[in-house]
Amino acid sequence: MGVTLINDAIVLTVLLPLFAAILGLVTRRAARLQRVVVCGVLAMCAASAGWLLVQLGDAGEFVSFVGNWPPPFSIVVVFDPLSGVLIAFASFIGICCLVCGMGERGDSFELGWLAPMVGFLIMGVNYAFLTGDLFNLFVAFEIMLMSSYALALRNATPEGIKQANKYGMVNIIASAVFVLAAGMVYGVTGTLNFADLAGYVERVKEVPPAFGAAGAMLVFVFAMKAALFPLWFWLPDTYHTMPATVGGIFAALLSKVGMYAMIRVIPPVFDDVESLPLREILWGMAGLSMVVGGLCALGVPTVRRVMSFVLIAHMGYALFMVSIGTAEAFAAAGFLIAQEMFVIAGLYTVGAACVRHAGTDDLRRIAELHREMPRLSWLAFVLVVAGAGVPPTAAFVAKAWILQEGVGAGAWWLVGLMVVSALLMLIALVRAGAAAFCRLWCATPERAVARRGSARWATASCAMLVLGVVLTSVFSPVLVGLMNRGGEQIMRSDRDLGSVYTPPAAQEDGKEHAP
Amino acid sequence: MIALLAVCVCVVMAVSVYLVLSRELKSAAMGVFILSHAVNLGILAMSGGPIARSGEALASPVLSEGRQEAGASEPAEIARTELYVDPLPQALILTAIVISFAITAVVLTLLVVTHRDAGTLRIERLRPSDRPEPPGLA
């Protein structure tokens, strides 16, 4: 068990993307300068997260009390190995998205908004990973969603604008439910801090039913964000009609934030609430997400739609681990979502490259892209292997780890469903890859559709993401170690309140606080 | 007071659900705006009497004497603080209101853009073009 240390540098991981966004706004008229500046600042953000992870060493977590207020009043931000890894990866994916955006064609006014909005999006995502209380999690979600609405509408096709309505509506309703749930939690417990909430069920003898209701509402909200089974309907319609550039970053980050919130909040706080049959709900959602994701991925005709369902199935695997609710299971879920960020962003970027090159990513209208884009096809091969979880990749480690934890917990039928779903996804991914890059259905590939930009930058972005996949695979032992410590941290703040609430040792103005 | 607020929340929430379920995006958007008001009223109602962990009614957590060790204050002040209402839910509501302002702006822009592009705000005309038309919708 690591110790809790105070380190105010952790807010850098939120401030740097904000600076990136502001600099992006200022340099909006100089397209190249803007991209370079924003990418540079985001790279600094990823580097600072990595540096903090190194600084963390054997300690459990860094906390910062915002404004240096003493613990019960201050807003707490917490940086543990799990959130650190996710922050570093998210910032890297922001850079990949900007690289992909360089090949985009369209109105130069609209193109100039990509970099600032990606900056704000990364800020919201990083803040969601870092925050230590429920209401700030809501605020982080809103920062993230607001920039995602802008990204979904920027340079969108008419079809994309239609679908953006669905995306907006669904997320706004989920946000309203989130605020209400946060208010209810505060009304019942008098606190919103995760660590403080985690001990609530143990502290009180009788949990009011409102607490269970608030828990159910939070499950609803996070399941909506993570696109889990009954609430996944909006994702396949919206993500594949969005501008090709941003599909990857949406798929890679937004659903992961929902799943991260699920890991952080749901089992630690609401596990033992009698009025809420949490285990059964999570099991059902996880099993159905896996199977529905796998089956639908087999049946849909466009590259990015296939990837939407692959994403939903992956979220099901992560939720399976959340429902088990041990430190090792959280670690496995964290490992899955961390390595899957690169895979899913890469697969979406392959779809974006197809759109840029051939005008469509409909598998019935493209074929033999291998001849025209050999480099992209090799990158896609690596990503398909990684997405299907074939042995040398980190995805295999993740799946094996999940299966091991599942068997350990005795959840045999979910383990069985997961194996079936993984098989279905392997078939679906190979089928999509074969149809696009070899010849499966389409006899005469269509070239009538106007090209929408150069595929070169999308391929470059894809190469960066493949590099991410390779690095996570090579360094998966390191990552597994970090995740194990992250999982322990979640379970620790779960039982040990003092960890986050250590008062600041000495304030800068020299005021002493009673010990 | 709480009962009155609860009735208000119920009514406003029912209206907003009715509007959100309509087949016209403008009404659905109105429903979403009203939903945010219902939620804010709900938080206000919940903050009426925070139940302490031990079961007794709590005064404001920021100013009550239970937290004296954190910020030292005069005894006279402590007596006065019992009159304060808990400020935290109000801070939550203010934040939520500001955010819902921004959301309102975004949604209205979205409606304008959608209408400009698609020429309609009827939901059945906005379905994905790669989906077959559902039966019974002329």
Integer Cα distance of A3 and A489 in angstroms: 10
**Residues of chain B contacting A204 with CB distance shorter than 8 Å:** 53, 55
| Closest C-alpha among A319, A126, A333 to residue A232 | A319
**Is B65 among the domain residues?**
no
| Closest C-alpha among A54, A55, A128 to residue A90 | A128
Strand order through the sheet with A4-6: A4-6, A61-65, A76-79
Number of domains in chain A: 1
- What is the predicted pLDDT for the residue at B19? 93
CB contact at 8 A, A43 and A94: no
Residue ranges of chain A whose pLDDT lies below 70: 1-2, 70-73, 440-453, 492-515
**Is B83 among the domain residues?**
yes
**Is B54 among the domain residues?**
no
* All residues at 6 or more sequence positions from B124 whose CB lies less than 8 Å from its CB, including other chains: B23, B134, B137
**Is A513 among the domain residues?**
no
- What is the predicted pLDDT for the residue at B67? 45
CA distances from B75 to B58, B63, B65, B79 (A): 18, 12, 9, 7
**Residues of chain A contacting B53 with CB distance shorter than 8 Å:** 189-190, 200, 203-204
Integer Cα distance of A332 and A25 in angstroms: 39
Among the partner residues B25, B36, B89, nearest to A176 by beta-carbon distance: B36
Q: What is the distance in angstroms between the Cα of A391 and the nearest Cα belonging to chain B?
A: 36
Integer Cα distance of A160 and A18 in angstroms: 27
* Residues, chain B: 138
Contact at CB, B39 and A164, closer than 8 angstroms: no
Work out whether the CA dihedral A410, A413, A417, A419 comes out positive or negative: positive
* All residues at 6 or more sequence positions from A145 whose CB lies less than 8 Å from its CB, including other chains: A124, A171, A175
Model pTM? 0.88
**Residues of chain B contacting A177 with CB distance shorter than 8 Å:** 39
Give bridge partners of residue A6 from the DSSP assignment. A63
Q: In whole angstroms, how large is the CA radius of gyration of chain B?
A: 23
* All residues at 6 or more sequence positions from A3 whose CB lies less than 8 Å from its CB, including other chains: A59, A60
Give bridge partners of residue B24 from the DSSP assignment. B122
Q: Give SS3 for A162.
A: helix
| Closest C-alpha among A48, A78, A47 to residue A60 | A78
Structure tokens at A158: 């008419």
- What is the predicted pLDDT for the residue at B129? 63
**Is A102 among the domain residues?**
yes
**Is A505 among the domain residues?**
no
- A189 Cβ under 8 Å from any chain B Cβ: yes
**Is A493 among the domain residues?**
yes
Among the residues of A326-409, which ranges form H helices? 327-358, 369-372, 374-388, 394-409
Structure tokens at A159: 């079809």
Give bridge partners of residue A4 from the DSSP assignment. A61
- What is the predicted pLDDT for the residue at A511? 44
CA distances from A305 to A235, A240, A301, A402, A455 (A): 9, 6, 7, 25, 19
Integer Cα distance of A383 and A376 in angstroms: 10
pLDDT tens track for A29-69: 888 899 899 999 999 999 999 999 998 878 778 888 877 77
**Is A507 among the domain residues?**
no
Domain that holds residue A235: 4-499
**Beta strands A4-6; A76-79: pairing state:** unpaired
* All residues at 6 or more sequence positions from A321 whose CB lies less than 8 Å from its CB, including other chains: A329, A330, A332, A333, A336, A402, A405, A406
- A209 Cβ under 8 Å from any chain B Cβ: no
Q: What are phi and psi of A476, to 5 degrees?
A: -60, -30
Number of domains in chain B: 1
Alpha carbon of residue B65 to chain centroid = 31
Per-residue confidence at B4, pLDDT binned at 50, 70, 90? confident
The DSSP H or E segment spanning A440 is none
**Is B79 among the domain residues?**
yes
* All residues at 6 or more sequence positions from B138 whose CB lies less than 8 Å from its CB, including other chains: none
CB atoms within 10 A of CB A503: 17
Q: Give SS3 for B104.
A: helix
**Is B94 among the domain residues?**
yes
Integer Cα distance of A367 and A437 in angstroms: 6
Which residue of chain A has the CA closest to B108? A165
| Closest C-alpha among A231, A247, A230 to residue A239 | A247
| Closest C-alpha among A221, A157, A215 to residue A184 | A215
Compute the half-sphere exposure of residue A341: CA atoms within 13 Å on the CB side of its CA: 31
Structure tokens at A19: 């600076």
**Is A506 among the domain residues?**
no
Integer Cα distance of A485 and A168 in angstroms: 36
Which residue of chain B has the CA closest to A197? B53
* Average pLDDT of every residue of chain B: 74
Give bridge partners of residue B122 from the DSSP assignment. B24
Site from B16, B110, B115, B120 to mutate, A interface, most A CB atoms within 10 angstroms: B110
**Is B103 among the domain residues?**
yes
The DSSP code sequence of A131-160 is B-BHHHHHHHHHHHHHHHHHHHHTT--HHH
Identify how many contiguous H helices and E strands chain B contains and give both numbers.
4, 0
- B97 Cβ under 8 Å from any chain A Cβ: no
The DSSP code sequence of A318-348 is HHHHHHH-SHHHHHHHHHHHHHHHHHHHHHH
**Is A190 among the domain residues?**
yes
- What is the predicted pLDDT for the residue at B46? 78
- A59 Cβ under 8 Å from any chain B Cβ: no
**Residues of chain B contacting A110 with CB distance shorter than 8 Å:** none
* Residues, chain A: 515
Integer Cα distance of A134 and A128 in angstroms: 10
Domain that holds residue B37: 25-48+73-127
**Is B81 among the domain residues?**
yes
pLDDT tens track for A426-469: 999 988 888 888 876 666 666 545 555 678 888 889 999 999 99
